[in-house]
Amino acid sequence: MRSTGIRIHFLHAWRFMKKRWLSFLLLGVLLFASGFVYTTMAESIAAIRDASEAYFEETNQEDFSIEVSDRLTASEKEHVRDVCGLQTTETLSALSSADSSCHEDILSSRKETLIQVFTGVSLEARLFMDIPLFRDDGNHRMRILNDADSINKSHIEEGNKPLSSGEIAILGNYARANDIALEDEFVVQGETFIVTGFVLFPDYNLPVFDHPFLFDSTKQTLALMSDEDFAMFDAPKRAYFAGVLEEVSASELEGMFDQAAFLTAPFLENLTLTENNMRSGAIYAEIEGGHAFALIVAAFIALLGLLIIVLSLLKTLRANSRPFGVLKALGVPDNALIFPFLALIGIFALLFLLLGFLAGQFAAHPMQDIFRDFYLLPEGKIRFRVVTLVIALALPLTLLLGLSFVVMKRLLGKRPVALIHPALTEWAKGGLKRFRIGSWRLSFLVRMQIAFIKRRPGKFAVFVVGLFGALFAGFFSFGMHDMLERTLPEYYGGTGIEVKAYTEDITFDEPAEGEKVLELSVRVNETNASLVALSEGQTLHPLKDSRGRDLTGSLAEGLVISRGFSDLSGLREGDTVEVTLAGDNLEMEITGVADIYAGSHVFATREVVAEWLFTDPSAYNVVYLSESPEVDYALLVFTDDIVEQLRDTHEIFNVFFRVLVASALFIALVVVYLLTVMLVEDHYYPLAMFKVLGYDNSIIRKILLGGYVKAALLCFVVGIPVALLAFAFTRRWMAEMYEFMVPLAITPVQVLIYFALFLATLFLGTMSAKRKIDKMSLKDALAIYQE
Amino acid sequence: MDISLKNVEKTFMQTKVEVAALRGVDLEIPSGEFVVVLGPSGSGKSTLLNVMGGLDSVSAGEISIGGKDIASRSEKGLLAFRRDNLGFIFQQYYLLSTLTVAENVETGAYGAKDAHSPLEALRMVLLEEHADKYPFELSGGEQQRVAIARALVKKPKILFCDEPTGSLDEKTGKEVLKLLANIHADLRTTIVLVTHNKAIASIADRVVTLTSGEIVADHQNDKRVSPDEIHWH
């Protein structure tokens, strides 16, 4: 006969894998998932990144923006009164309607002052008008932006730029969601416009108008009009300044944002670098974070899969060490024994990783579309990238083969005689001796469980790490589930406010109906806040702390801050703070913390604030109403619309989080299934011996699996505080990054639901191992032992 | 191929104490001889077989097979030497459970220049009809015969057998011995068989007795008998 090659060893390796097809299929699913998740995310994000870079370059995206007070400073009021002849104008937006030329003067003056403060930059005023849209399916919102000259230039995705009066360009996303086509008529505040194009603005890659979580572009849109229409449109124009770094770096610019800056420019509110700005910079964090998230998730899944494969291999080699020892004695080299396993596992892993990679390439298209449903960015091209292939495929494959080779070489690299006659069996070496050491106080069952865990520390470690990782992902998803419900819906749900009616300027006349409120942007010490000054004796906006105690009394004595603002600023009850607005300061004591997560709200008594800022306790700029007003206001905001809009958005997120929880539990199921089945196979002989000794199946199950089940439950219990810590960390990170609080939290009910799901997963995952234990026969066990 | 051992020593460390398994062993086995190494448990006979077969290293002394020194060979060199010249049979059969009988036999022919076909090897051990069965479908004696076929398939010049009947009853044990005797008679393969069973010694050309790692007796067996005639202990 011709010399025999390693064909027969391939056959052995193949049959080994075939016999465990379900385990390998599940491992294949893990590898597929790893390749798929990474490729989908990496490719879609890369496409968006490339498209965004070109788009931001072309449109000259702002590097930073400067928020300025809408309230006029004392000197500005003097100018408005003396030069423009307007006696009662208090705000910049009111001035835009009253006298556009005077409005331009103030903006120019502010720009000049800002350029003195922030040297080495160029600035351009960004003007916008917020308009309610009354559509058939409810109330929508529109923010009309000016067509910028040099910074944040508009970008027409489709159609033409509106150049003539009566033309308008809106967001493509909004148009698609509302069946609006080019050339359609579009009514804004009673005026009819023709939609000439779909527009994008680089400073609004998330359409965040006021609340950071309100960015669903199906019910709110940005818009561009001709310069003529924009100037003439009857609505107050608010402003901020967009800036580009010319001769300074971002950190140098931040260094200029100090107390002196507020003294020179008292209208200054905030300076935000684009990367820290939700509306213009969230995409940067998404690109970075999304890529990192994909990498971590994919690496975690791949590593789990790889470790389980290596453990499985280790088990096979141990079981076959004696026959392999004989074959080595007969002159078969290590490589002939190792290579078939490596090659087959390599082909198997390559196949699933490649499938994951290819599926990911396809899925990257819809994934980019999902991104573009939220982010207002031009479409990027999904293309094959070598770096993605390397990370999604070559790296895990190399790791798998390298690790497998090292493990196999270490095991089979011994002399044949050491493989055929191991000095001591592992059981005798470790197991029985360890029953006694340090555990004499424990029951027999517990000692046995510990012994079985100690016998396979590698498998136990993979079990714990895999399960904990999966559980943690689930906890995090649960934490984000219904997260938005805890913001505005919970906030407005706790009040009797149905409509917020905004006046054009600070008003002093008594309103026809409703409760007078002052809503102003202020700084509390170093942090920006939304000041809501409520009238004494008002009833529509109750304030309660986390224990449900009424804080109305505290409001009369000082400043009540929201829980969200407290977490954001680190300020607590009893602290004395300085409230600043357009150069005016007021020292106040924090007298309570209201249980509100909606935003950076701080509350004060309207009369006190009105007296402080306008020397007239009757001043207000908003009226809170429990039903629609009978008189006209500059802007009406219906709280139900906002809540509905937010719920629409969070329903989409909730679906995503449910998928994440299901995926986490699936990974937990795979880990539990594979490792418990392997454990039974590892301990077939001692477990069969327990049967012979008269132990019934339930006790044997407890002996082998009990320790693992306890560890799994411990993972769940430990997962709770770890998740809470992670929530705290994430809240802090988001607060530092974007200056808003993410109300990540998990309720006891959610914990119970998750626990029930986890128990079901654990039960399903261990079912196969239990069945194997029940079916185990002494004859088979001895046959395996002999082999 | 002649086997020559000169002053072979083998020591082990056992819980920090040096234990001598072989002490100054001198042994010459001419090609084609059937030698039984006899000794009680712990006498060093398996160690002797392992060092002779290049499965284990020696602490001192020289071992040569066919005039080639094997004690100083590298692992790689030893592997090739074993592949080309030596066959092994152990007390346990150590067959691969995922492979059929014929496939298990084929594993033994790896890299052999002139091997039997697996069926030929199985015919020699009278198991041709079981070629497609899996090891668990065979009795202990049949599995040992498969192990013998696995060792024979590459036509080894020397066959080392470590307690090949240790796990078998008298009847199947004798069948295995008969097989070995036939192989020796038909192929003139050198056979070194290690056993504690004195009865088996009577089927060999020569009997070497080992006690505490030393050869205490070495004599030709003039009264060779057939395995059928021996009385099992």
Pairing of strands A499-507, A635-638: antiparallel
Amino acid identity of A199?
V
Contact A787 B97 (CB under 8 A): yes
- CA-to-CA distance for A765 and A151, rounded, in angstroms? 57
Contact A3 B109 (CB under 8 A): yes
Count CB neighbours of A438 within 10 A. Answer: 9
Contact A420 B86 (CB under 8 A): no
Quick check: A344 contacting B, CB < 8 Å? no
Which residue of chain B has the CA closest to A330?
A: B83
Contacts (Cβ under 8 Å, ≥6 apart) of B190: B1, B3, B29, B31, B32, B33, B34, B35, B157, B158, B159
pLDDT of the residue at A780: 58
Pairing of strands A635-638, A559-562: unpaired
> CA of A424 to nearest chain B CA: how many angstroms apart?
12
Which candidate from A12, A329, A786 shows the least CB-CB separation from B53? Answer: A329
φ/ψ (deg, to 5) at A580: -125, 135
Quick check: A329 contacting B, CB < 8 Å? yes
Instruction: Pick the closest to residue A431 from A407, A410, A408, A451 (CA basis).
Output: A451
Do residues A141 and A181 touch, judged by C-beta distance below 8 A?
Answer: no
pLDDT of the residue at B233: 61
Q: Report the mean per-residue pLDDT for chain A.
A: 87
pLDDT of the residue at A491: 83
Which candidate from B76, B84, B117 shows the least CB-CB separation from A1? Answer: B117
Amino acid identity of A321?
S
A345-380 pLDDT tens trace: 899 999 999 999 999 999 999 999 988 888 899 999
Residue A431 has pLDDT above 50, yes or no: no
Contact A330 B96 (CB under 8 A): no
Residue A434 has pLDDT above 60, yes or no: no
Which candidate from A3, A783, A787 shows the least CB-CB separation from B113? Answer: A3
Query: Average pLDDT in the A405-419 region?
Result: 85
Picking from B13, B46, B55 by the largest number of A CB atoms within 10 A of its own CB, the best residue to mutate is B55
Contact B117 A323 (CB under 8 A): no
Which residue of chain B has the CA closest to A785?
A: B94
pLDDT of the residue at A43: 93
- DSSP string for A690-712: HHHTT--HHHHHHHHHHHHHHHH
Coil, strand or helix: which one is A559?
Answer: strand
Residue A245 has pLDDT above 70, yes or no: yes
Which residue of chain B has the CA closest to A416?
A: B55
A249-262 pLDDT tens trace: 999 998 998 878 88
Q: Which two three-digit tokens encode residue A131? A: 């308009």
Count CB neighbours of A87 within 10 A. Answer: 8
Contact A6 B98 (CB under 8 A): no
Contact A331 B110 (CB under 8 A): yes
Contact B107 A6 (CB under 8 A): no
Chains A, B: CB pairs < 8 Å: 114
Which residue of chain B has the CA closest to A329?
A: B55
Picking from B78, B107, B113, B123 by the largest number of A CB atoms within 10 A of its own CB, the best residue to mutate is B107
Contact A15 B154 (CB under 8 A): no
Q: Which two three-digit tokens encode residue A118? A: 């922030």
Quick check: A5 contacting B, CB < 8 Å? yes
Query: Average pLDDT in the A45-69 region?
Result: 93
Query: Average pLDDT in the A102-106 region?
Result: 94
Which residue of chain A has the CA closest to B147?
A: A326
Contacts (Cβ under 8 Å, ≥6 apart) of A349: A31, A309, A396, A397, A400
Contact B94 A325 (CB under 8 A): yes
Contact A331 B115 (CB under 8 A): no
Query: Average pLDDT in the A600-623 region?
Result: 92
Contact B55 A416 (CB under 8 A): yes
Q: Taking the CA atoms of chain B, what radius of gyration do you get in angstroms?
A: 17
Sole residue written with tokens 């027999």: A444
The dihedral region occupied by B67, where left means phi > 0, alpha psi between -120 and 50, and beta the remainder, is: left
Domains and CATH numbers, chain A: 1-62+278-422 (no CATH), 70-120+249-266 (no CATH), 121-246 (no CATH), 456-485+640-787 (no CATH), 499-627 (2.40.70)
Q: Which residues in B lie closer than 8 A to residue A3 (C-beta atoms)?
A: 109-113, 115
Do residues A140 and A221 touch, judged by C-beta distance below 8 A?
Answer: yes
Residue A10 has pLDDT above 50, yes or no: yes
A660-702 pLDDT tens trace: 899 899 989 989 998 998 888 888 777 877 776 778 888 888 9
> CA of B160 to nearest chain A CA: how many angstroms apart?
10
Contacts (Cβ under 8 Å, ≥6 apart) of A643: A488, A489, A492, A493
pLDDT of the residue at A500: 92
Q: Which helix (H) or strand (E) holds A19?
A: helix A7-19
Q: What is the pLDDT confidence band of residue A424, given thresholds at 50, 70 and 90? A: very low
Distances (CA, A) of A185 to A193, A196, A223, A235, B214: 6, 10, 14, 20, 109
Which candidate from B57, B87, B94 shows the least CB-CB separation from A323? Answer: B94
Q: What is the pLDDT confidence band of residue A718, given thresholds at 50, 70 and 90? A: very high
Quick check: A6 contacting B, CB < 8 Å? yes
Sole residue written with tokens 């989908």: A40
Contact A320 B99 (CB under 8 A): no
Q: Which two three-digit tokens encode residue A159? A: 């159609």
Picking from A7, A8, A320, A339 by the largest number of B CB atoms within 10 A of its own CB, the best residue to mutate is A8
Contact B135 A6 (CB under 8 A): no
A424 vs A360, residue with greater confidence = A360
> CA of B203 to nearest chain A CA: how many angstroms apart?
25
Contact B82 A331 (CB under 8 A): yes
Which candidate from B88, B92, B154 shows the least CB-CB separation from A786? Answer: B92
What CATH number should be reported for the domain whose range is B3-229? Answer: 3.40.50.300
- CA-to-CA distance for B30 and B65, rounded, in angstroms? 10
Largest CA distance in chain A: 113
What are the DSSP E strand ranges found in B98-198? 158-162, 190-195
Q: What is the value of ipTM here, to two decimals?
A: 0.85
Q: Which residues in B lie closer than 8 A to residue A786 (C-beta atoms)?
A: 92-93
- CA-to-CA distance for A569 and A561, rounded, in angstroms? 10
Residue A2 has pLDDT above 70, yes or no: no
Instruction: Pick the closest to residue A555 from A512, A583, A588, A582 (CA basis).
Output: A588
pLDDT of the residue at A688: 75
Contact A332 B115 (CB under 8 A): no
Q: Which residues in A lie closer than 8 A to residue B95 (C-beta atoms)?
A: 323, 787
Contact B110 A787 (CB under 8 A): no
B190-224 pLDDT tens trace: 999 999 988 888 899 999 999 999 999 999 988 88
pLDDT of the residue at A432: 43
Strand partners for A187: A192
Q: Which residues in A lie closer than 8 A to residue B113 (C-beta atoms)?
A: 3
Which candidate from B92, B110, B135 shows the least CB-CB separation from A336? Answer: B110
Q: Which two three-digit tokens encode residue A651? A: 């329903």
Contacts (Cβ under 8 Å, ≥6 apart) of A435: A447, A448, A451
Query: Average pLDDT in the A509-514 region?
Result: 88
Do residues A665 and A758 touch, judged by C-beta distance below 8 A?
Answer: yes
pLDDT of the residue at A427: 43
Residue A576 has pLDDT above 90, yes or no: yes
Q: What is the pLDDT confidence band of residue A779, given thresholds at 50, 70 and 90? A: low
pLDDT of the residue at A108: 95
> CA of B137 to nearest chain A CA: how many angstroms apart?
11
Angle of helix A697-738 relative to helix A748-775, nearest 10 degrees, comes to: 150
Largest CA distance in chain B: 52
Kindly state the DSSP code that residue A503 receives in the 8-state scheme. E
Q: Is the dihedral of CA A771, A773, A777, A782 positive or negative?
A: positive
Distances (CA, A) of A541 to A52, A294, A423: 42, 43, 79
Spans of all domains in chain B: 3-229
Residues in chain B with pLDDT values less than 50: none
Contact B115 A3 (CB under 8 A): yes
Least confident of A158-172, A202-216, A549-563: A202-216
